[in-house]
Chains A and B, each alone.
Chain A
Amino acid sequence: MTERELFKDLCNESYIDKQQVLQSVLSTRSVLNKQNGGRFTMKKTFAAAASIALIALSCFTVFAVSRYLTPEQTAEMLDRPFVANAFKSEDAKIVNQSAADGKYMFSFLGIANGKDFDIDNTQKDKTYAVVAISNADGSAMTNTNNEQFFVSPLINGLNPGLYNIATMHGAYTDKLIDGILYRLIECDNIEMFANRELYLCINDGPLYSSDAFVYDGASGKITVNESYNGINLLFNLPISQENADDNKVLEFINNLENSKDEPLSDNEEGTPDFFTNKEYILENGLVNMTLLKENFTLSEEDTKILTPKNNVITFSYDSEIFGSGNSDFTLPFNYKAGESFLISRGRSGDDKQTTGYCLIGTMLEDGNVEFSIYYHTEPVNK
């Protein structure tokens, strides 16, 4: 880097960055089309942000967001074209609200609804949200700093310990892009709850922390626990009340309650279901390879050796069977040689058949990682 480049960079950081301004303007597109007769301005972004501050007054400060990818761009970078399309729709909400907590800045970028394959191999209405996580001091995150974050919608009146992304058929994918960790979460469509107060919560750790938030069973309100010594943020979820549906809510709650009693098992046809059979995934993300190999097919042409850099492996694949993708993956644990761990899993397909696939890493003696993909194709349950 030359001196001039360094100082130009300083200018971008301290004053103005041409590309970031452009990105911010374009990211307000859907808001522009729908709100305020096209009179959306940065000031209104601040005003909107102020409402979040009321949720957790003493815990964090709210800022306007201007330097992030849009939710649509994030979905594209995460190889989720379905989701990118969902964020292009008129119903998508660009939120762009940020809050600092501890050494991190959390930015809730947007929320959208769409259809996607669920873990039980059927198409379902989903809600998607995109969050960007960056170092609060403005420095680039070099990896996920070995920190774990839990991001989930919460619903006023429903115990967040029982009703969160983990119980609402949720999932997430994330990627470090230009020093910022972008996380895309998805779960059952929550539009039906729109006549209640909805939140997006963030806490440290891999799961919902009942210490981080306070649920008042009487009023149904969820608030941050001011005395919690960790990350705990609540953003308001802007969902249009038009789609509130109390009947659907009842059905949803009944289904969720009933599903808690069902044992995890293979699906009805007896075909292996990697996504619901807990025997496949062991502690610390380790995979039962014996069971996996019995029921899934190895895509040999996609097997490759990757060298971790700063504990991160970068992989890509391109297959006619299960599509293409590329991403970074931070090794969450110090795996021993010979251990196989889950990198990611997903489904692709059409209305007739879907292919469930899982990306597996196997630690080798020399510190490299063998990257492989196993897949299984099955008909869609209608």
Chain B
Amino acid sequence: MIGQTIYTFFNSLYDKTYPKTVLYITKKCDDPAQVSDITQEVYTEVYTVLLNKGYEHLQSPEAFVMHIAKKKLAKYYGFKTRFLSCMSLFSFNSEDEEEFEAPISDSGELSLEDKCEAKQLYFQLCQHLKSKDAVTQKIFLLYYSLDLPLKQIAAELKISEGTVKNKLYRAVRELKTIYGKDGDNNDRA
């Protein structure tokens, strides 16, 4: 019975804190590929504490999760690494400030479903995404995985909204080119 209660409590806490935790970890870590592992470590520790000590003593469970997240990040990255990581967030080229030309369409069914189900193509898309610079990957993750608005992403990553739009727009355009929706390589597909 107690186990079930903790299980329920943990699930609820997980749902409540997941976006904030992932946002925090994404912001702070220099490699987006590590976000999943660090997040898993954070919640594993949270769950361990709940199993061992219960949750009654926690005054603010949400703050507790953030505390663990900070601790885990500190463990993953030394001060120097984190400092460099923070610096890299500010280091973008002037071309990043280009005017955002077209809004990113979220609507409309893709006529490409069959193509995208082709395993090789999907794998190619993942690989391409991972080959992008860390900031672009973070923007992509925050925009599509956490559904954050562009303005908030810009604020969280401490870069201009124009940069966010441009980086996202370029990444999307390149992915579309790969799967042949539009772009210069359309005819090659």
A residues contacting B by CB (< 8 A) are 1-4, 6-8, 10-18, 20-22, 24-26, 28-29, 32-33, 38-43, 64, 66, 135, 137-140
Contacts and interface: CB of A to CB of B under 8 A. Distances in A.
Interface in B90-136: 105-110, 112-113, 116, 119-120, 122-123, 125-126, 129-130
Contacts of B150: none
B40 A40 contact: no
Given A41-B45, A139-B120, 10 more contacts: A1-B110, A4-B144, A12-B145, A14-B129, A20-B36, A21-B36, A32-B44, A32-B48, A41-B44, A137-B123
Contacts of A24: 40, 44
B141 interface: yes
Contact of B110 (A2, A18, A39, A43): A2
A138 B47 contact: no
Given A21-B36, A22-B14, A139-B122, A2 B108 contact: yes
Q: Considering residues B40, B110, B129, which has the most beta carbons from chain A within 10 angstroms of its beta carbon?
A: B40
Given A28-B44, A33-B51, A40-B48, A13 B126 contact: yes
Nearest 4 CB-CB pairings of A with B: A139-B119, A11-B145, A16-B36, A38-B48
Contacts of A1: 109-110, 113, 116
A337 B113 CA distance: 36
Contact of A25 (B44, B105, B107, B172): B44
A15 B175 CA distance: 16
Contacts of B145: 8, 11-12, 15-16
B106 A4 contact: yes
15 contacts: A6-B110, A7-B140, A10-B125, A14-B33, A14-B126, A14-B129, A16-B36, A21-B40, A25-B44, A29-B51, A32-B44, A40-B44, A64-B37, A66-B36, A138-B119
Nearest to A139: B119
A10 B129 contact: yes
- Give the interface SS of chain A, mostly helix, strand, loop or mixed: helix
Given A2-B110, A21-B36, A137-B123, A7 B48 contact: no
- Give the interface SS of chain B, mostly helix, strand, loop or mixed: helix
B5 interface: no
B1 to A, nearest CB: 15
Contacts of A138: 119, 123, 126
Interface residues of B, number: 45
B64 to A, nearest CB: 15
Contacts of A15: 32-33, 35-36, 137, 141, 145
Contacts of A13: 122, 126
A26 B52 CA distance: 14
Contacts of A41: 41, 44-45
Contacts of B47: 25-26, 28-29, 32
B18 interface: yes
A14 B48 contact: no
Contact of A42 (B11, B37, B119, B175): B37
Contacts of A42: 37, 40-41, 44
Interface in B12-55: 14, 18, 22, 32-33, 35-37, 39-41, 43-45, 47-49, 51-52
